[in-house]
Amino acid sequence: MIATILPEQKKHHPVLLQELISIISPQYGGKFIDCTFGQGGYTKKILEFSNTEVIAIDRDANSGKISKNLEKKYKNRILFKNIKFSEINKLNLNKKKIKAIVFDLGYSLNQMKDPNKCLSFNSIGELNMKLGLNEFSAKEVVNNLDKKDLEKIFKYFGNEKDAKKIASVIERERVNENIDTQKLVKIIESSKRKKNYKIHSATKIFQAIRIFVNKEISELIYGLINATKIIEKDGIIAVVTFHSIEDKIVKYFFKSLSEAKSVSRYLPKQNIKTNIFKLINKKAIIPTYKEVQKNPTSRSAKLRFAIKIAEKNNFESDFLEKFKNLIEIENYSAKL
Ligand SMILES: C[S@@+](CC[C@H](N)C(=O)[O-])C[C@H]1O[C@@H](n2cnc3c(N)ncnc32)[C@H](O)[C@@H]1O
């Protein structure tokens, strides 16, 4: 797992843009939902085609400022909503038929560079990591959560081998003074048994805390469920992920709802599985060598998409069960 954005990068490049556009085909017009507006890379491209409309969502209110310029240029064709995408089902769609719903997960370069957000291990000051509309910050997590809980967060959301040791040192050190960003980096560096020369020692722990602070797993799970509920037949859901946990969730969701298991004709009718999605590509689409050269942060990106082919109620129970341990870990936040 690698950090999505490298600190040295200067300009924002929307990841896998051409591939996404060829999947959702805005050249034929239609209504789209961009669940992760960010700096508007995807939305701008969609709006360049006439007869398109975009509902742009972002949990970061700062994205609303970027959408203002597009609102001037494209008048009634863009509507920005400062909400979390897990709540996409609460949008008032006024019977609009949505052609595609897109997600480009993680955070943007602007957010990475924002000194107040402290998303990077190069940041100085209080721990934060809030992307927007959060209930708590990284400061509360690192300074208050139980050692055992921190260990699980580091292990499951960061795949960190030294999770136990790092959690113990945090617990010991925070007795004397609050742990800020740089202190956390020092704790991680001093606790690691082996130095990794490919990525910074703090990358995995920072990723894990960011996922926890923003409840990124629950957001993705409920985002997918609710997008499936609101998109109509023939609509497309497309998701760009940046690390293995996200990709595993998206892959399972699309695959499990698109593969009818062979069922016995003697089974009661209600047990026969209907497919909700059709998958065109079984494998994830990844950036070309050229894109990675131009934008190294795209190297871990994976794009998966599915076409809705049928309506079905109560399709989510197996999906929720499959990832219930990860949702449970995110719910440790109730202890804060
Ligand atoms: C990688 S950026 C998107 C970049 C965008 N595609 C572009 O080209 O400019 C991810 C954006 O998603 C937003 N985001 C992350 N999780 C979210 C959530 N659960 N609900 C709404 N927005 C979210 C972040 O605030 C960030 O602005």
Question: Does the Cβ of 59 fall within 6 Å of ligand 1?
Answer: yes
| Protein fold of 17-110+216-311 | Rossmann fold (3.40.50)
Q: 3-state DSSP call for residue 304?
A: strand
Count CA atoms within 13 Å of residue 98 on its CB side. 27
Backbone angles phi, psi at 80, to 5 degrees: -95, 135
CA 52 – ligand 1 centroid, Å = 21
Tell me which of 6, 15, 24, 36 to substitute to probe ligand 1's pocket, judged by most ligand atoms within 8 Å of the beta carbon: 36
Question: Does the Cβ of 107 fall within 6 Å of ligand 1?
Answer: yes
Residue 310's nearest CA partner among 239, 258, 249 is 258
Task: List every span in the chain annotated with CATH 3.40.50.150.
Answer: 17-110+216-311
CA distance 124 to 277: 46
Question: Does the Cβ of 26 fall within 6 Å of ligand 1?
Answer: no
If one counts every other C-beta atom within 10 angstroms of the C-beta of residue 178, the result is: 12
Rg (the chain; Cα; Å): 21
Question: Does the Cβ of 219 fall within 6 Å of ligand 1?
Answer: yes
| Protein fold of 135-213 | DNA polymerase; domain 1 (1.10.150)
- The bridge status of strand 302-308 relative to strand 236-241 is antiparallel
Question: Does the Cβ of 239 fall within 6 Å of ligand 1?
Answer: no
**Atom 25 in ligand 1: residue holding the nearest Cα:** 60
CA distance 257 to 187: 43
CA 120 – ligand 1 centroid, Å = 17
CA 289 – ligand 1 centroid, Å = 24
Residue 277's nearest CA partner among 261, 248, 255, 249 is 255
CA 261 – ligand 1 centroid, Å = 35
Q: 3-state DSSP call for residue 4?
A: coil
CA 37 – ligand 1 centroid, Å = 6
**Atom 27 in ligand 1: residue holding the nearest Cα:** 38
Question: Does the Cβ of 287 fall within 6 Å of ligand 1?
Answer: no
pLDDT recorded at residue 186: 97
pLDDT recorded at residue 11: 79
**Atom 22 in ligand 1: residue holding the nearest Cα:** 58
Question: Does the Cβ of 14 fall within 6 Å of ligand 1?
Answer: yes
pLDDT recorded at residue 157: 98
CA distance 254 to 63: 29
Task: List every span in the chain annotated with CATH 1.10.150.170.
Answer: 135-213
Question: Does the Cβ of 39 fall within 6 Å of ligand 1?
Answer: yes
pLDDT recorded at residue 249: 98
Residue 31 in contact with residue 77, Cβ under 8 Å? no
Angle in degrees, CA 127, 249, 322, rounded to 5: 105
Residue 84 in contact with residue 219, Cβ under 8 Å? yes
Ligand 1 nearest atom to the CA of residue 63, by list position: 27
Tell me which of 24, 108, 211, 297 to substitute to probe ligand 1's pocket, judged by most ligand atoms within 8 Å of the beta carbon: 108
CA 88 – ligand 1 centroid, Å = 14
Q: Which two tokens mark 251?
A: 């892959």
Q: pTM score, two decimals?
A: 0.95
CA 39 – ligand 1 centroid, Å = 8
Q: How far is CA 262 from the centre of its chain?
A: 33
| C-alpha distance across the termini of the chain, in Å | 27
pLDDT recorded at residue 7: 45
Q: Consecutive 10-residue runs of the chain (336 residues): their mean pLDDT?
A: 45 94 98 98 98 98 96 96 98 93 96 93 95 98 98 98 98 97 97 86 96 98 98 97 98 93 59 85 96 95 98 95 98 97
Backbone angles phi, psi at 30, to 5 degrees: 125, 175
pLDDT recorded at residue 25: 98
Question: Does the Cβ of 84 fall within 6 Å of ligand 1?
Answer: yes
331 contacts: CB under 8 Å, gap ≥ 6:
none
Question: Does the Cβ of 42 fall within 6 Å of ligand 1?
Answer: yes
Residue 101's nearest CA partner among 27, 28, 46 is 46
Residue 250 in contact with residue 304, Cβ under 8 Å? yes
